[in-house]
Chains A and B, each alone.
Chain A
Amino acid sequence: MKVLVLQLARLGDIFQTWPALRALQRQGAEVHVLVRPRFRAAAAGCDGIARIHEFQTDKILTPILKHPVEGLRPSLDELDALLHHLDSENFDKIINLSFSPLSSWMTFDLAMRANARSKPLATVGYTRHIDGSLAIPDDASAYFFAQVGYRAQTGATEAVNRLSLPRIFATIAGVDPVEADWRSPDNLGQLSSEINLPRDFVAIHIGASDEAKTLDALQWAAIAARLFRGTKLPVVLLGATGEIAKANSILCTSARLGVSSLISLVGKTDIAELFSILDRASLLVAGDSALVQIASLTGTKVLNLSSNTVSHWETGPAVSGSRILVYGETVPAADTVLSEALKLLIGVDPDLKASLNSDSHADRVVQGPLEPVTNFTNNAHVDFLWQLISAIYLGTPVPRADDSRIQSALQQWIEIRQIEYHQLSALRDNRGDAKQIGSILDRIDQLTQLLIEAEPRLAPIYRWWTTERIRFGPAPRVELLEKYIALNTQLEAVLLSLRENEERRDGQQLDL
């Protein structure tokens, strides 16, 4: 089978796609990927890929940006040329792992082109219906839309999903990765002669795609100096060309703290070299950055300083033993970082045991790339939300909804649902005034939204329900009505299970 994977996101997302790509290849697929030119190097090292195609944004957009009137046709021609080229590859399946409007339209267009040639083309991931509305054909992408993608849409920072992106990607692709799919390129590149690395060292990635996902220069300097003194290991700074000034600031500040021997490779490495460097590192200390994903492939343990605006469940390190410190307004203290780093370095130097403080500050210790999903943490509120999601999508027991407030909200939603059921049934049976029914259905939509705003613990159910309605797509009215009624009945099952679970005091499972 010949497969095209659309991965038009950034470096970290491409690295997190490697396990799925390898699993696809292992199944016998010829795997092609479409990436942006700037991030091609992130795909180049993956042995699961037969061919890399590029979405050349500059080539496509430059004509219309230079001349909005005369440039429209040349831009369209460039775009058509790319899509024609992809269509000529005669793929059997498109896997869209980009979750964007652009990629959804491209997936749809390729499917339509194949259809025009009477070529069957399966698609998974976001695409479009013939009327242009969003289509989400597979359940895994619907999960992403409902429980992961909503954060980008709404600006919500609370991360409830606990499935990692590599596992979500693999599920969408229809494959089961194994631990061995998290590995370096088969041929690790040679380091340039200018890069002299010590035998054992701690690597620090000082940057990220967004400054909000990493620490500032002063914070990194304090941590680097503390790590150097506390671990007795050389410390190597890593980062991109645009972070050289930041690196210099870190070097100056750490020198004032009495540590003048940090090694900076900031702006001096390409992606292939980063693999080689991290492969040799004893530990990587980093914010929420693509180097965490590279370390997951090289098998390097990570101490991840993770902003609470990012989901470490989704994009955190994968190597067993890696530790995650989550921070909000206050970044972890240098002593805390050292304490956690020492726990990770014990295997490297047993003498460090003497310095070890057994108290753990880590919010999570990773068990491996395919670790069992964690249902219980020290945050009962978020645990409840995750358990609710897990019950809906993974068939695990329904959590208990103990307090009277949520029970009251559930009862109200059940009553609203019953009204909707009667209105939809009347519409289906041509009973009653359609205009009046329409007004009632509008009001039901509004009331439901207000109810969820008042009781946000029910939001995961609401997101599941609204996503399923989006998935219906255009259809004859009678068919749509039947789908709405069926979904209404499913919603009732979910709400009743949650309400009754409080009365039964045991874990029910949903049968959706």
Chain B
Amino acid sequence: MKSTRENLHMTEQPNASSFGTLLAVPKSSKQLAAEADRLQLLVRLSDAAARIREETELIQRTSFADPAGRLLRILGEAVEEQRLGSVSLERDQK
């Protein structure tokens, strides 16, 4: 949460535009079939998240008035939900 000083733009650092993770989405109790599969999925999710962050940094000024900035953010949040294990990608395919 931003401090009073940050909210009133009294800091010298740029305001963080990211609110960050708001809520932990309720976790599912179902576990992936094998530990190896789970680890592999986490690696793929981490790679995806890193790629999205790279792309975001390439956009010099992330403006959410720009659809591209919003799409990246939404995709990033969808990846983050998977990393938190809220809803398994595999289970969505059933």
Binding site for A on B (CB under 8 A): 1-5, 7-11, 15, 17-30, 41, 44-45, 47-48, 50-52, 55, 62, 64-65, 67-68, 70-75, 77-82, 87, 89, 91-94
Contact A149 B23 (CB under 8 A): yes
Asked whether A57 and B78 contact (CB < 8 A) given A38-B94, A131-B15, A210-B27, the answer is yes
Query: Smallest Cβ distance from A479 to chain B, in angstroms?
Result: 11
Q: Taking the complex as formed, is A179 at the interface, i.e. its CB lies under 8 A from any CB of chain B? A: no
B75 contacts across to A, CB distance below 8 A: 60-61, 64, 75-76, 79
Q: Is A484 an interface residue (CB 8 A)?
A: yes
Given A64-B48, A76-B71, A134 and B29 contact (CB-CB distance below 8 Å): no
Cβ B51 vs Cβ A69 within 8 A:
yes
A434-B10, A441-B5, A466-B1 given; A104·B52 CB < 8 A: no
Q: Contact check, A101 vs B19: say whether CB atoms are below 8 A apart.
A: yes
From known contacts A99-B23, A104-B22, A152-B24, infer whether A65 and B48 are also in contact, taking CB-CB under 8 Å: yes
Q: How far is the CA of A466 from the CA of B25 in the complex (A)?
A: 21
Expressed in whole angstroms, the Cα–Cα distance for A442 and B5 within the complex equals 6
Contact (Cβ within 8 A) B89 A57: yes
Complex alpha-carbon distance, A484 and B2, angstroms:
13
Task: With a 10 A CB-CB cut-off, give which of B3, B7, B24, B89 has the most chain A CB atoms.
Answer: B7
Chain B: minimal CB distance from A244 (Å): 13
Instruction: Let me know if B8 and A58 touch, CB within 8 A.
Output: no
Return chain A residues, CB-CB under 8 Å to B11.
438
- Let me know if B67 and A112 touch, CB within 8 A: yes
A441 to B3, CA, bound (A): 8
| 0 or 1 for each of A126-144: is its CB under 8 Å from B? (1 = yes) | 1010111110000000000
| Total of A-B residue pairs, C-beta within 8 Å | 178
Q: Measuring CB to CB, which residues of chain A are less than 8 angstroms from any residue of chain B? A: 9-10, 36-38, 56-58, 60-62, 64-66, 68-69, 71-72, 75-76, 79-80, 83, 99-102, 104-106, 108-109, 112-113, 126, 128, 130-134, 149, 152-153, 207-213, 242, 420, 427, 434-435, 437-438, 441-442, 444-445, 466, 469-470, 472, 477, 480-481, 484
Q: Is the CB of B82 within 8 A of A61?
A: yes
Q: Considering the complex, give the chain B residue whose CB is closest to the CB of A9.
A: B26
Please state if B24 and A153 are interface contacts (CB–CB under 8 Å). yes
Give the CA-CA distance A481 to B7 in the complex, in Å: 10
CB pair A438–B73 under 8 Å, yes or no, is no
Please, which residue of chain A has its CB at the minimum distance from the CB of B11? A438
Residues of A within 8 A of B1 (CB): 466, 470
With A57-B87, A64-B75, A132-B73 as given contacts, are A126 and B22 in contact (CB-CB < 8 Å)? yes
Within 8 Å CB of A209, what residues of B? 26, 28-29
Q: Which residues of A contact B51 (CB under 8 A)?
A: 64, 68-69, 72
Question: B4 near A484 (CB under 8 angstroms)?
Answer: yes
Asked if B19 contacts A132 (CB within 8 A), the reply is: yes
**B48, A112: Cβ atoms under 8 Å?**
no
Task: Find chain B residues with CB under 8 A from A57 CB.
Answer: 78, 82, 87, 89, 92
**Please, how many angstroms separate the alpha-carbon atoms of A101 and B70 in the complex?**
12
Residue in chain B with minimal CB distance to A214: B29
Contact status B72-A445, CB under 8 Å:
no
Complex Cα–Cα for A470 and B82 (A): 26
Given contacts A64-B51, A100-B23, A105-B74, contact A131 B4 (CB under 8 A): no
How far, in angstroms, from A307 to B66 measured CA to CA in the complex?
Answer: 45
Q: Is there contact, CB below 8 Å, between B74 and A444?
A: no
B4 touches A444 (CB 8 A): yes
Interchain CA distance A134-B19 in the complex, whole Å: 6
Chain B residues with CB below 8 A from A132, complex form: 17-19, 62, 64, 73
- B82 — which chain A residues lie within 8 A by C-beta? 57, 61
Q: Given A38-B91, A108-B70, A480-B7, does the pair A9, B25 have CB atoms closer than 8 Å?
A: yes
